[in-house]
């Protein structure tokens, strides 16, 4: 079971190949990943092998332990093994509590780092994701704004700017003129047609 919307890469094992752990969709309390028992093989040497059974619960607990322990000691990412086909209310409440405690721990670590350095580069993506999921507003929590490429110098700039800050190229002449950064485009006056020469001259 997973109460997290985090998307996990496929998990690989020699006894079942590749398995995609399902993540809960927005508005859904949890997602279920069905796991079946498998048969493992031990190489005894001299071309001899021995098969052994691996239960579905053993596989599920191994996968949950791997996913939850991915971020160090005491980490929990909302993946757990239910006793039945569907999680009970008590199991869901316990998983939510553990996930919230881990996310609050991440946010506290990010707060300490921010007090020390005031550098958003030292805040991890995991800590930012925890703050967003908790609905917190933090000075170190920011979403990078989209940028475009200057057609003249290829520098990354904000969309809609009048002048490129790197090379000074005027990208929007009308906007630049409003702020006194360029002359407004002149409208060409229509030229008077030249009088036609009189016939016979």
Nearest-10 Cα torsion for 38, 18, 28, 131: 120
**Measured distance CA(123)–CA(121) in Å, rounded:** 6
What pLDDT, on the 0 to 100 scale, is given for residue 142?
74
Position with higher pLDDT, 2 vs 149: 2
Q: pTM for the complete prediction?
A: 0.66
C-alpha pair distances (Å), 136 with each of 33, 47, 58, 120: 30, 59, 37, 16
Is residue 190 scored above 70 in pLDDT? no
What pLDDT, on the 0 to 100 scale, is given for residue 201?
46
What pLDDT, on the 0 to 100 scale, is given for residue 62?
95
Is residue 172 scored above 70 in pLDDT? yes
Instruction: Place 57 in a pLDDT band, splitting at 50, 70 and 90.
Output: very high
Average pLDDT, integer, range 160-169: 89
Task: Enter the tokens of residue 176.
Answer: 């630049």
Q: Which of 11-15, 70-74, 127-131 has the highest mean pLDDT?
A: 127-131
Is residue 198 scored above 60 in pLDDT? no
Axis-axis angle for helices 89-117, 125-133 (nearest 10): 130
Is residue 200 scored above 60 in pLDDT? no
Is residue 22 scored above 80 in pLDDT? yes
Is residue 178 scored above 60 in pLDDT? yes
Q: How many percent of the chain have pLDDT more than 90?
A: 59
Residues 55-64: contacts with CB under 8 Å, at least 24 apart: 57/81, 59/13, 59/16, 59/35, 60/35, 63/11, 63/19, 63/21, 63/35
**128-143 per-position pLDDT tens digit:** 999 999 999 999 987 6
Burial of 169 (0-12, 13-18, 19+ CB in 10 A): middle
């Amino acid at each position: 079971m997973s109460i997290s919307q985090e998307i996990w890469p496929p998990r690989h094992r020699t006894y079942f190949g590749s398995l995609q752990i399902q993540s809960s969709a927005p508005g859904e309390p949890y997602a279920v990943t069905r796991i079946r028992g498998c048969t493992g093989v031990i190489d005894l040497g001299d071309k001899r092998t021995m098969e052994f059974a691996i239960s579905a619960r053993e596989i599920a607990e191994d996968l949950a332990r791997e996913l939850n322990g991915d971020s160090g000691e005491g980490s929990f990412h909302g993946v757990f093994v239910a006793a039945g086909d569907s999680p009970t209310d008590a199991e869901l409440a316990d998983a939510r509590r553990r996930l919230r405690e881990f996310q609050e721990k991440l946010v506290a670590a990010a707060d300490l780092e921010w007090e020390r350095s005031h550098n958003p580069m030292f805040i991890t993506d995991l800590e930012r994701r925890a703050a967003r999921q908790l609905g917190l507003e933090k000075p170190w929590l920011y979403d990078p704004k989209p940028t475009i490429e200057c057609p003249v110098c290829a520098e990354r700039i904000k969309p809609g700017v009048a002048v490129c800050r790197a090379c000074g190229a005027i990208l929007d002449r009308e906007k630049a003129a409003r702020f006194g950064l360029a002359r407004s485009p002149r409208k060409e006056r229509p030229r008077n047609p030249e009088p036609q020469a009189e016939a016979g001259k």
